[in-house]
Structure 1
Amino acid sequence: MRMLSIQSSVSYGHVGNSAAVFPLQRIGVEVMPVYTVAFSNHTGYGAWRGPMLTGTDVREIVTGIEERGGLEGVDAVLSGYQGGDDIGDAILDAVDRVKHHSPNAIYACDPVLGNATSGCHVAPEVQNLIRDRVVPHADLITPNQFELGFITNTNPTTLESTLESVDRVRELGPSTVLVTSVQRPERADDNVMEMLAVTGDEAWIIETPKLPLKANGSGDVTAALFTAHLLGTGSAAGALARTASSVFTLLENTLASGQRELQLVESQEAYAHPAMQFDARRVR
């Protein structure tokens, strides 16, 4: 399996491609990383150093890959945070180029907009880009519940309303949706987290314990692993179970370490040989 992954890069810690690439490589995926920024660390620290790349830079890199024949035999294009129109347009151009050379390739997009706690934290032009141009181009999206509601102009709070929002976003273009960090008042236990995967006429939900930490980059790992497992197995339930098991172990190890950054390398066996401690339950 081969992927083109267009995301940020940091030298210290793990977000964007610095979170997604190694787990994918550990499960046997050939990854071609294209960087949108080259920062010292993620911006959550409040200070960072390093350059942002432009859409022109991204296009040049993708063109160079294309000239080597590297866009042939690609299974997926993966993207995450998009910092502006120029980067977004360059990513969409890369998707079109990949699909020209590899017609069966999918575009998997994590539509990073914000969260229920802090709201939308990207510029208005990026909001419009994601909602109006990126999501309709995507085959697979991995929003959190807040982002799903923002894209569809809905307020998903229950399982039923979340499924309705998923159906609405699928009408825009994506055939498969993974909703991360699902929260709903009808759930009896507040100490759990859920993810919901919908594809075809099936919907699956999985529950894991909620751990007391905020781990930057865990969403990037989740999107990458789910995309790879779905392509590899064709099973949304299986991809959901493997991804949830791997990411939970990664978060457990990070919590136990007392460190702020993901223990990405230390948790590598969890990607290759997940404990499979959680089962997906069909809800449709």
Structure 2
Amino acid sequence: MKILSIQSSVAYGHVGNSAAVFPLQRIGVEVMPVYTVCFSNHTGYGSWQGPMLTGDNVRDIVSGIEDRGGLAGVDAVISGYQGGDDIGDAILDAVERVKRHSPDAIYSCDPVLGNATSGCFVAPEVQDLIRDRVVPKADVITPNQFELGFLTGTSPETLDDVLASVDIVRGLGPSTVLVTSVERPDRPEGTIEMLAVSGDEAWIVQTPHLPFKANGSGDVTAALFAAHFRGSGDLANALARTTSSVYGLLETTLRAGAKELQLIEAQEHYAHPEMQFEVRRVR
């Protein structure tokens, strides 16, 4: 499998491509990382150093890959946080180029907009970009519950609400939706869920809710799900493998008392997930 991954990069810690690339490589995926920023660390620290790349920089890199014949045989394009129209347009251009060379390739977009705690933390032009131009071009999207509501103009709470909102967003273009961080009011205390929907299937999985925030875990989740689903076409299996791997990564990080993901230490969880969580069909 070959994936073109257009995301941020940091030297210290693991977010964006610095989170997604190694787990993908560890499960046997050939990854071509294209960076949108090259920062010292993620911006959650409040200060950082390093350059932002422009949309033209991204286009030049993708064009260079194309010149070498590298866009042939690509199975998926994945993207995460998009800082503005400039980068967003370059990503959409890259998707179009890939699909010309690899018609069966999918585009998997993590529509990073915000979360239930912080609300929407991207600029209004990025909100419009993601909702109106990027999501309709995606084959797979991986929003959290808040982002799903934002994209659809709904406030999903119950499982039926979430499923209805997924149907709305699928009507915009993407055929497959992974909803991360589902927190419905009737779930058992101390748990959290993920829901995957594609075709006429909908599957949900529940895990313990680990009591900490780990920047980059969503990037790992989106990358692994895209790879597993593109590779197998088995929605339930892709959800189960992704959930087990990411839970193992988070548990390893929590046990270490670390602020940054213990991405290397948890590598066996990607290669050999324990499959310890039941995936239940809900549609």
Provide the TM-score with structure 1 as the length reference.
Answer: 0.99
- Residue of structure 2 in register with 1:181 after alignment: 181
The one-character-per-residue Cα deviations of 1:220-246 (angstroms, maximum 9, x if unpaired) are: 000000011111111110000000000
What is the root-mean-square deviation in Å for CA atoms of aligned residues?
A: 0.4
- Residue of structure 2 in register with 1:219 after alignment: 218
- Residue of structure 2 in register with 1:148 after alignment: 148
Q: Which amino acid aligns with 2:135?
A: V
Distance across 2 between alignment mates of 1:92 and 1:161: 30
Kindly tell me the number of residue pairs found equivalent between the two proteins.
283
The one-character-per-residue Cα deviations of 1:91-140 (angstroms, maximum 9, x if unpaired) are: 00000000000000000000000001110000000000000000000000
Q: Which amino acid aligns with 1:282?
A: R
Distance across 1 between alignment mates of 2:230 and 2:15: 23
Distance across 1 between alignment mates of 2:148 and 2:79: 17
- Residue of structure 2 in register with 1:41 after alignment: 41
- Residue of structure 2 in register with 1:85 after alignment: 85
Distance across 2 between alignment mates of 1:78 and 1:58: 14
Matched, 1:260 2:259: yes
* Pairs within 5 Å for 1:5-154: 5-154=5-154
- Residue of structure 1 in register with 2:237 after alignment: 238
- Residue of structure 1 in register with 2:280 after alignment: 281
Q: Which amino acid aligns with 2:117?
A: T
Distance across 2 between alignment mates of 1:33 and 1:198: 27
Deviation at 1:153, TM superposition (A): 0.4
Deviation at 1:40, TM superposition (A): 0.2
Distance across 2 between alignment mates of 1:51 and 1:57: 12
Secondary structure of 1:205 counterpart: strand
Distance across 2 between alignment mates of 1:81 and 1:236: 24
Q: Which amino acid aligns with 1:229?
A: H
Q: Which amino acid aligns with 1:123?
A: A
Provide the TM-score with structure 2 as the length reference.
Answer: 1.00
Q: Which runs of 5+ in 2 are unaligned?
A: none
Q: Which amino acid aligns with 1:263?
A: Q
Matched, 1:169 2:169: yes
Distance across 1 between alignment mates of 2:79 and 2:193: 23
Q: Which amino acid aligns with 1:140?
A: V
Distance across 2 between alignment mates of 1:146 and 1:50: 30
Distance across 2 between alignment mates of 1:190 and 1:97: 46
Secondary structure of 1:108 counterpart: strand
Deviation at 1:190, TM superposition (A): 2.2
Secondary structure of 1:161 counterpart: helix
The one-character-per-residue Cα deviations of 1:23-44 (angstroms, maximum 9, x if unpaired) are: 0000000000000000000000
Secondary structure of 1:177 counterpart: strand
* 4+ runs deviating over 6 angstroms: none
Deviation at 1:186, TM superposition (A): 1.8
Distance across 2 between alignment mates of 1:123 and 1:256: 36
Distance across 2 between alignment mates of 1:193 and 1:225: 19
- Residue of structure 2 in register with 1:204 after alignment: 203
Distance across 2 between alignment mates of 1:207 and 1:156: 18
The one-character-per-residue Cα deviations of 1:176-219 (angstroms, maximum 9, x if unpaired) are: 000000011122x1201100000000000000000011000000
Give aligned-pair identity as a percent: 77
Secondary structure of 2:3 counterpart: strand
Deviation at 1:90, TM superposition (A): 0.2
Secondary structure of 2:8 counterpart: strand
Deviation at 1:269, TM superposition (A): 0.5
The one-character-per-residue Cα deviations of 1:234-266 (angstroms, maximum 9, x if unpaired) are: 111000000000000100000011110000000
Q: Which amino acid aligns with 1:228?
A: A
Distance across 1 between alignment mates of 2:180 and 2:189: 16
